[in-house]
Amino acid sequence: MEHVLSVRLLLRLLSEDPALLASDVDREKAEALGSATWAAERGESGRMMALVLESNSPYRYSIISVPLADVANREKLVPQDWIPDPTNLSPQMREYLSPLIGGPQLSYEHL
């Protein structure tokens, strides 16, 4: 019974505050984007802030202002060969995901 209550409490907390699931990397980037108010301060509208990867090692990015028309209703796909099958990621995909996830990733031979 105690375990059921703990699970219910956890589910309720997560439903009320999804930020509990955010990683440190998510929080850092959200804070950086939130503090980049320079476009709005200049009176620009119809634009959004975007992260531009400068380097993976060491991980560095910059923040730019882009027209909404350039990014709205568009998706950026990773190359299909980065995910050869659902249980295997290519080295390129691991490199792409690494800074987004933060910290070391576990590796499994078989699930």
Does 48 map to a domain?
A: yes
Q: How many domains does the chain have?
A: 1
pLDDT at 24 over 70: yes
pLDDT at 15 over 70: no
Does 77 map to a domain?
A: yes
pLDDT in tens, 28-42: 888 888 777 777 788
Does 57 map to a domain?
A: yes
Does 16 map to a domain?
A: no
Return the half-sphere exposure (C-beta side, CA atoms, 13 A cut-off) of residue 75: 3
Burial group, residue 7, by CB count within 10 angstroms (0-12, 13-18, 19+): exposed
Nearest to 32 by CA among 57, 66, 62, 56: 62
Arithmetic mean of pLDDT, 78-88:
84
Instruction: Pick the more confident residue, 43 or 105.
Output: 43
Does 110 map to a domain?
A: no
Does 2 map to a domain?
A: no
Question: What is the pLDDT at residue 58?
Answer: 80
CA–CA dist 44, 15 (Å, integer): 35
Tell me the average pLDDT of the chain.
Answer: 77
Report the range of poorest mean pLDDT among 4-18, 28-42, 81-95: 4-18
Question: What is the pLDDT at residue 42?
Answer: 83
Range of the domain at 38: 22-101
Question: What is the pLDDT at residue 70?
Answer: 92
User: Which pair of tokens denotes residue 25?
Assistant: 């990397």
